[in-house]
Amino acid sequence: MPRARPITVSTWTPAGAPGVQVLRVEDDTRLWTGHATAYGLTVTYSGAFDFWYRQRVWTHGPGPRLKLKEPGEVHRDERIHAPVTAQSITLAPALVEEAARQLGLAAAPHLTHAVSHGHGRTEATALALHEALARRTPDSLERDSLLAQTLEALLSEYAETRPRLSRATHRPAVSRARDFLQASYTRNVDLESLAASVGLNKFHLLRVFRAELGLPPHEYVTHLRVSRAKALLTQGLSASTVAVEVGLYDQSQLNRHFGRIVGMTPGQYARAMRRQ
C-alpha cells in the first residue's frame, strides 16, 4: 500500500511588502477553523474541501475560483474530499483600506462573495500574484504592480461599494514613466517611487500606462531587459553575466523571461546568432 505524502505547511512575509503574508499547504488533510483578522485570497491547486462561511457550506477545489475572506468572520472546514495543496495570501486591513481610499472609497470594504466567479480581472491578477509570491520574486516592481492590480480588481468586482475609476489618460505622465523606466531598468525600482516620479497614485498609473503602451510597467521593464540581453548575448557575454548586466537576479530569471518573450533559451539564441 503506498505511503501518504507528508503534509507540509510554510508561511512567509515577502520582503518589501508590509501587510502581506503567504501561507502554503501541500497534501493537507486537516480540518481548519479560523477567525479572520485580515482579507484573504486562496487558490487551490489540487484536492478539494467543504468549508462553512456566512451561514452556508461551500466547496472549493482546483481552478481559477478564489476563496475570499474578510476580517471578523469565521471560516470552518467541514470535509476534505482529497488532500489539498493550496496557497493563501492575507492582506492587512490597513493595506486594503488604504487601497480603497486611493480608489475613492470611504469605508472599510465589505466583500460580497465568499468564492470568486472564476472569470475576471481578480482571478487573472491574483493568480499571477500567487505565482510571483510562490517563487519569492525579488522584483519590487513586479510584486508591487501585481498586488496593486489585484487590490483594484478585488474592490472593483467584489466590494459592496465599487470604486469609480478615472478615465483620464495622462499621456504626459505615461511618457515620463516610460522615460524613467528606460533610464533605470537595471535597478530594482518600486511602484511607489515610479508613481511619485510622475505625480499619479499607483492605481491610476497602472491603468493609464497599460492603456497607452499595452503592457503594465513591470512587463515593460522585462521587455527592456530582454532586448538588452539579446544585444549582450550577440556580443559573446555569458548568460549569467548578461542576467546581472540587465538587472535580473540570476540566470534562471533570465531564462524564464527570455524563453517566454523570445521563444528560446539565451544559449540557443546566442548559438543561432553565432551561426549567422
Question: Does residue 1 carry a pLDDT above 60?
Answer: no
Question: Does residue 235 carry a pLDDT above 90?
Answer: yes
Cα→Cα distances 239→38, 218, 274, Å: 42, 21, 14
pLDDT score at 4? 58
How far apart (Å, rounded) are the C-alpha atoms in residues 74 and 84? 20
How far apart (Å, rounded) are the C-alpha atoms in residues 57 and 79? 10
Question: Does residue 2 carry a pLDDT above 70?
Answer: no
Amino acid letter for position 9 = V
Q: List residues bridging with 233 in a β-sheet.
A: none
Question: Does residue 274 carry a pLDDT above 90?
Answer: no
In a 3-state reduction of DSSP, which class is residue 164? coil
Lowest mean pLDDT among 160-169, 176-185, 246-255: 160-169
Question: What single string gives the DSSP state of each residue in 18-51?
Answer: TTEEEEEEEEE----EEE-SSEEEEEEEEEEEEE
First to last CA, the chain: 57
Which three three-digit cell numbers place residue 2? 503506498
Range 87-95 average pLDDT:
97
Q: Where are the alpha helices (DSSP H) in 108-216?
A: 121-134, 140-158, 171-184, 191-198, 202-213
